[in-house]
Amino acid sequence: MKGLKKLFAVMLVLLIPLTGCQGSGDEASDDSENENVVEFEFWAAPNPTQEAFWKGMAEEYMKENKNVKINVSPMPESPSSEAGIQAAIASGSAPAASENISRGFAAQLSDSQAIVPLDEFEGYDDLIANRNMEGSIAGWEFADGHQYVLPIYSNAMMFAWRLDILKELGYKEPPKTYSEVIEVGQKLKEKYPDKFLWARADLVQPTWWARWFDFFMIYNAASGGANFTSGSDFVADRDAGIKTLTFFKDLNDNELVLTREATDPFETGMSIMMDIGPWTFPYWAEKFPELKYNETYTLSMPPVPDDVNPADSKTFADTKGIVIYSQASEEQQKAAFDFLTWVYSNPENDLTWFEKTNLPPARDDLSTNEAFLSYLEESPQLNMFAENIPNATPAIDNEKFVEIQEEIGKQALNPIMKGDKDPEKAWDDMVDAISGVLK
Amino acid sequence: MHKRNEKLGWLFASPYLIYTLIFFLFPLLWAVYLAFTNWNTIAPEYDFVGLENFFSALSSETVKAAFFVTYKFMIMFVPIVIIGSLLLAFLIHSLPRFKGLFSVGFFLPYLASGVATAIVVNGVLSYNSPFNEQLRNFGLDIDWLGSPILAPLIIALMMAWKFVGYYALLFLSGLESIPKEIYEAAAIDGAVGWKRFWHVTIPMLYPSFYTVTILAVGLMFGIFTEPYVLTGGGPEYSTHTWQLEIYNQAFEKLNAGYGTAVAIINSIVTFVSIYIFKKLLEKWGAKHGWE
């Protein structure tokens, strides 16, 4: 019996470290040596560059604010960062704040009351004014009139064009309207039957997120960035939508699009147009140094219907931002907001971000503020992205955005690209399906 | 003495039992509860919806696709992997030396990352790969991943490549354990060549066949990485598996309650399928004296 007791004791000792593994941010703040210190968790995007930026910012801030302790760590990806956040909220271990949140995911989080409205914090208006982002953030307002996300960067998605091949075809600049695009495509096929205007396999797949980089780029250009949904209502511009689908149909009918997986088709000159964000440039610098801005390639806003002024073209904003979570205590939420106010009160911090990540800070004055001019001169290919931040519309703010974007593919874009539907029917089928989702 | 031994038995088993309780039983019970709610795992409130999630799942086109796609994968993968691993096992078995070295070599694909393999395959099958360019020179322009027939076959082949070395080890251990005397006796009875192979070797490998078949069938219900990276479930849902459906619902659309209901249906289908295969295999084993 004595031996048995000993064995129980050993088992107990072995179990203690296991139970000791548990813990949360809230408990950590209780354990702080100084009761006046507010401690909170900040999750950075799961990549070393962004994590390093936020760690640097937190260290600087903590030097000036001894009563705050910020623990910066990369958000878990299991298997995606969204799933990691979802698991953290479900288990009650969400951080006080995190970056890397898209507007669509924020809509899901706000619908579940998992994040707090930022516009209710004292000093919010000053933060927006100091960062010069009144224009950029206007498109971020949610259907309930609140702002839940502070956008960090905004990639106004562009189309890259092979300038060298365009010149061979007799053009000095990229086409700007639908008929000009088709004309360029036809000339390309005449001269190079094996080349394509655009290589994009996603056009025949219902992959929801792919719609940001094909359908929404063209639709936003055609509609002037008109909303797709408002609350639970479908409010998209039908005329612009049908023109968008007709453009895709014309591309397909003229056999200008390769809808099969291809490796670096634009870079190798197999296609002459591609949807592009600024994250591509470091890859090109490493793998395709022969691609030079305004020599071998150039950038343009998405093409518009023939009856629209190309100068009014809008595009999709690939943009992510910061949210503050409801699970954090009010004290932690306030401390997180104050930290963000501090970070964004100095344009130099945005410049550091821009230099480190190549992702354009979501500011209206990015192309005019002196703080960024020298960097933009060094990297002229980023100018177009900086100039068009106010012309870029972020993702739809509906919690059913995944289903909605899936239906755009399934009902409209995919059948159009397979030649199975005409644009009117495709649009109407899509509207019916999305209305069913929004019910 | 008997009671003391009983207590000791429980005590030694307790770490495993506690582990199972915490990481399997509680989550399982929680999942069953979740399947009857509309909770998305982040909202503070949710409703009990009874069997609604199950009815929705049973009438869902994507769940139906996952159901049939799994059996399509099974029809392709199971024969390929069994024949492939059996041939490999014979090959290694016939080697005069370095059997261990070759066994380990063929086992290595099992350790390869599914994501990495899928990226390589994607590169090889891309439109402008040297492989496809050569085929086009011969007038063959094949859309490998865009075909609802070829795409699942490619995934099945990728998985077979990954698992064939592992299953070959199981067959190899079966081959190594067949006593020589049985072959000698069979030879005396005139069983040589193919006759010996079909009537002695194959029946004697029954335990290996049993294990490999059950593992391979079970594997088909857990396919995720390859279609997730390579095809996203397409084209036309021809590679849309149970795990993709569960992931899409629970983590992308935040329908955790519904996703859990799909997971429960998946586990029931898995159980029934494995049970049927088990019974068929046992029947075959019994015919050859395996009880």
pLDDT band of residue B234 (cuts 50, 70, 90) is: confident
Domain assignments of chain B as residue spans, ordered by start: 53-287
Q: Is the pLDDT of residue A3 over 80?
A: no
Whether residue A131 lies inside any domain: the answer is yes
Is the CB of A206 inside 8 Å of chain B's CB atoms? yes
Same domain for A262 and A358: no
The predicted pLDDT at position A12 comes to 40
Mean pLDDT confidence for A397-407 = 90
Instruction: Report CB contact under 8 Å: B232, A87.
Output: no
Mean pLDDT confidence for A105-133 = 92
- Convert the pLDDT of each residue in A306-358 to its tens digit: 999 999 999 999 989 999 999 999 999 999 999 999 999 999 999 999 999 88
Same domain for A61 and A176: no
Same domain for A289 and A237: yes
Same domain for A142 and A88: yes
Closest CA to A392 of A211, A138, A208: A138
Q: Is the peptide bond before A48 cis (omega within 30 degrees of 0)?
A: no
**Which two structure tokens, joined as six digits, stand for A28?**
């950590």
Note the helical H segments in A21-64.
25-30, 48-64
Q: In which residue are the tokens 């989702």 written?
A: A437
Looking at chain A, the whole-number percentage of residues with pLDDT higher than 90 is: 69
Mean pLDDT confidence for B16-40 = 92
Chain B residues within 8 A of A263 when measuring between CB atoms = 123, 126, 128-129
Q: Is the pLDDT of residue B34 over 60?
A: yes
Within 10 Å of residue A175's Cβ, how many Cβ atoms? 21
Same domain for A144 and A198: no
Name the domain count of chain A: 2
Q: How far is A108 from chain B (nearest CA, A)?
A: 8
More confident residue, B77 or A107: B77
Q: Are B46 and B255 in contact (CB under 8 A)?
A: no
Instruction: Report CB contact under 8 Å: A262, B43.
Output: no
The predicted pLDDT at position A151 comes to 92
Mean pLDDT confidence for A258-281 = 94
Instruction: Report CB contact under 8 Å: A82, B251.
Output: yes
Instruction: Report CB contact under 8 Å: A205, B235.
Output: yes
Interface confidence (ipTM) of the complex? 0.81
Residues on B contacting A at a C-beta cutoff of 8 Å: 4, 7-8, 11, 14-15, 18, 40-44, 122-123, 125-129, 143, 145-146, 232, 234-235, 247-248, 251-254, 256
Q: Is the pLDDT of residue A59 over 60?
A: yes
Please state whether beta strands A392-393 and A315-324 pair in parallel, antiparallel, or not at all (unpaired): parallel
Is the CB of A345 inside 8 Å of chain B's CB atoms? no
Looking at this protein, which amino acid is placed at residue A190? E
Q: Is the peptide bond before B27 cis (omega within 30 degrees of 0)?
A: no
**Which two structure tokens, joined as six digits, stand for B71?**
């059996």
Whether residue A19 lies inside any domain: the answer is no
- Convert the pLDDT of each residue in A131-158 to its tens digit: 998 887 877 888 888 999 999 998 999 9
Same domain for A180 and A84: no
Whether residue A429 lies inside any domain: the answer is yes
Same domain for A278 and A172: yes
Residue in A closest to B238 by C-alpha: A205
Domain limit, last residue, from A378, A393, A408 = A393
Q: Is the pLDDT of residue B79 over 70?
A: yes
Whether residue A5 lies inside any domain: the answer is no
Alpha-carbon gap, residue A426 to A437, rounded angstroms = 17
Q: Are A414 and A176 in contact (CB under 8 A)?
A: no
Whether residue A35 lies inside any domain: the answer is yes
With 0-12 / 13-18 / 19 or more C-beta atoms within 10 angstroms meaning exposed / middle / buried, residue A26 is middle
Whether residue A12 lies inside any domain: the answer is no
Name which of B125, B129, B253 is nearest A402 (Cβ-Cβ).
B253
Q: Are A396 and A139 in contact (CB under 8 A)?
A: no
CATH number belonging to domain B53-287:
1.10.3720.10
**Which two structure tokens, joined as six digits, stand for B142?**
């094949």
Question: In terms of residue numbers, what domain contains A264?
Answer: 157-312+397-438
SS3 track for chain B: CHHHHHHHHHHHHHHHHHHHHHHHHHHHHHHHHHCCECCCCCCCCCCECCCHHHHHHHCCHHHHHHHHHHHHHHHHHHHHHHHHHHHHHHHHHCCCCCHHHHHHHHHHHHHCCHHHHHHHHHHHHCCCCHHHHHHHHCCCCCCHHHCCCHHHHHHHHHHHHHHHHHHHHHHHHHHHCCCHHHHHHHHHCCCCHHHHHHHHHHHHCHHHHHHHHHHHHHHHHHCCHHHHHHCCCCCCCCCCCHHHHHHHHHHHCCCHHHHHHHHHHHHHHHHHHHHHHHHHHHHHHHHCCCC
Is the CB of A8 inside 8 Å of chain B's CB atoms? yes
Same domain for A298 and A203: yes
Same domain for A285 and A232: yes
The predicted pLDDT at position A35 comes to 64
Judged by average pLDDT, the poorest of A55-59, A107-111, A162-166 is A107-111
Name which of B127, B232, B253 is nearest A260 (Cβ-Cβ).
B127
Note the helical H segments in A211-308.
215-223, 238-253, 280-287
- Considering Cα of A94, then A332, then A351, then A65, what sign does the dihedral take? negative
Name residue A320's beta-bridge partners: A153
The predicted pLDDT at position B213 comes to 96
Same domain for A282 and A177: yes
Residue in A closest to B6 by C-alpha: A4
The predicted pLDDT at position B1 comes to 60
Chain B residues within 8 A of A403 when measuring between CB atoms = 253
The predicted pLDDT at position A29 comes to 45
Q: Are B7 and B18 in contact (CB under 8 A)?
A: no
Same domain for A323 and A180: no
The predicted pLDDT at position A15 comes to 42
**Which two structure tokens, joined as six digits, stand for B211?**
């294990």
Question: Which of A11, A112, A192, A195 would best serve as a mutation to test chain B binding (most B beta carbons within 10 A)?
Answer: A112
The predicted pLDDT at position B236 comes to 86
pLDDT band of residue A397 (cuts 50, 70, 90) is: confident
Name which of B4, B146, B254 is nearest A86 (Cβ-Cβ).
B254
User: Please, what is the average pLDDT of chain A?
Assistant: 89
State phi, psi for B255 to the nearest 5 degrees: -100, 70
Same domain for A387 and A296: no
The predicted pLDDT at position A24 comes to 41
Alpha-carbon gap, residue B67 to B59, rounded angstroms = 12
Judged by average pLDDT, the poorest of A198-202, A341-345, B93-97 is B93-97
Chain B residues within 8 A of A196 when measuring between CB atoms = none
Whether residue A44 lies inside any domain: the answer is yes
Looking at this protein, which amino acid is placed at residue B265? I
- Convert the pLDDT of each residue in A19-36 to its tens digit: 344 444 444 444 545 568
Whether residue A376 lies inside any domain: the answer is yes
Q: Is the pLDDT of residue A228 over 80?
A: yes
- Convert the pLDDT of each residue in B185-224 to its tens digit: 988 988 888 889 998 999 999 999 999 999 999 999 999 9
Chain B residues within 8 A of A407 when measuring between CB atoms = none
Mean pLDDT confidence for B36-45 = 87
Closest CA to A72 of A64, A83, A61: A61
Is the CB of A11 inside 8 Å of chain B's CB atoms? yes
A381-384 CB contacts, 8 Å cutoff, 24+ apart: A381/A278, A381/A281, A381/A293, A381/A299, A382/A278, A382/A281, A382/A358, A384/A156, A384/A158, A384/A299, A384/A300, A384/A301
Mean pLDDT confidence for A91-96 = 91
Q: Is the pLDDT of residue A79 over 80?
A: no
Instruction: Report CB contact under 8 Å: A260, B8.
Output: no
CATH of the domain at A206: 3.40.190.10
**Which two structure tokens, joined as six digits, stand for A315?**
């595009």
